[in-house]
Amino acid sequence: MIFKNKLTFAAALDEQDPLQQFRSSFFFPVLDGKEFIYLCGNSLGLQPKSAREVMELQMNNWQNLAVEGWFEGEEPWMFYHKELKKLMAPIVGASASEVCPMNTLTVNLHLLMVSFYRPEGKRFKIVMEAGAFPSDQYAIESQLRFHGYDPLEAIIEIAPREGEYTLRTGDIEKVIADHAEDVALVLFAGVNYFTGQWFDMQAITVAGHAAGAVVGFDLAHAAGNVPLSLHDWGVDFACWCSYKYQNGGPGGISGIFVHEKHFSDTTLNRFAGWWGYKEEQRFKMEKGFVPESGADGWQISCTQVMPMALYYASLKIFEEAGFIPALRTKSETLTSYLIFIVNEVNKELGEELFRVITPEKAADRGAQVSIIANAHAKLIFEKLVENQVLGDWREPNVIRLSPVPLYNSFTDVFRTGALLLQVSREVTG
């Protein structure tokens, strides 16, 4: 597609957008009666307008049924998570039995590492990307210390080549192969939070398994953002939060994936809890943990009804939109247009004030464009916010802009470019 830096062009793309109606399904932040251009779905998705209704239903159940709500009403809480499992599975490319909503992201990462990080002899190292989100770094460091290893010795970080910002798949595969004798776990993000790079998860999984390692992913920035096929790729485990691209509310419930090939493995360690016990025998209150089949067997505490209700509201919108395939087509065009617009701003300024560090190839990125501001970075970001463009800041000089296909428009992207040019001229004189 040949892009144009014109409002009429952006408006025409919006008119042709088959997903345009979903924009009205969300609330946008407002200041002085004017909506923000919201480009921060990579940190917190917008509130679905249906969320209040779904939450009110559960509040009424609590009010009218009290404890009987676990077994009475249209959606008894005892089985509420099963409604979400059916809606979650297509988003990550899994069967309903392989996924489960529970806990929060880093809690689930720890729980899954209890099962799938199994160091033995000289095979104890963990391969990860350098500069991973701090939660992953801290979780991995603490797990290694728990097992008696020094993180400095046991973590193998893969960094971009000098002068580059993203990782090459071949470099990842080579590092894994070079450590085939001592790597126990390959644990990557699906999409890097800083650059927006979507890693070749299938290739990483193949390389990890060829080296004799278990392969897992943190999908915080991938689930609901890019098309995933966790089952077909043979990924061993994964977890994600619901509050970014999946609009599940601040601190929203997490989800896990466990490949069905592990369901019958009785040697896996778990930190068990009552809700993971075999469902039909759970209320016998017997000693000796017997896990429920599938991913549900990793549950610990009872269904978190209210957070699940918020997640359910958004998942129903994904279902109506056709889950990921339709969204992905729009996402690639949105980010391509945003990159074009940023380059147009540089042309108008007569210098490269902004450098895009997100992969140029659409297939290698999620719904995010990260740009380095080579001068006045923080001031430019602050002035964008003052002009009601809400992106997200990362030290020392990176502005992340994330056009989400469910609710962002091409007009949003055009207007962001116009304001970026305006504030850049203001601060550079």
Is residue 1 in some structural domain?
no
State the average pLDDT over residues 257-261. 98
Per residue in 266-278, pLDDT tens?
A: 999 999 999 999 9
Is residue 47 in some structural domain?
no
Query: CA 65 to CA 78: how far, in whole Å?
Result: 13
Same domain, 361 and 331: yes
Same domain, 261 and 383: no
Helices vs strands, H then E, count in the chain: 13, 17
Closest by Cα among 108, 98, 362 to 235: 98
* pTM for the structure as a whole: 0.96
- Percentage of residues of the chain with pLDDT beyond 90: 96
pLDDT band at 394 (very low <50, low <70, confident <90, very high): very high
Q: Which amino acid is at 218?
A: D
Domain enclosing residue 16, as ranges: 7-35+323-428
By the 10 Å C-beta count (0-12 exposed, 13-18 middle, 19+ buried), 203 is classed as middle
Per residue in 406-415, pLDDT tens?
A: 999 999 999 9
CATH of the domain at 392: 3.90.1150.10
Tokens representing 268?
């896996």
Query: CA 65 to CA 291: how far, in whole Å?
Result: 29
Q: Which amino acid is at 352?
A: E
pLDDT of residue 270: 94
Per residue in 197-242, pLDDT tens?
A: 999 999 999 999 999 999 999 999 999 999 999 999 999 999 999 9
CATH of the domain at 207: 3.40.640.10
Tokens representing 207?
């390389």
111 CB-side CA count, 13 A: 27
Query: CA 218 to CA 45: how far, in whole Å?
Result: 18
75 pLDDT more than 90: no
* DSSP for residue 197: B
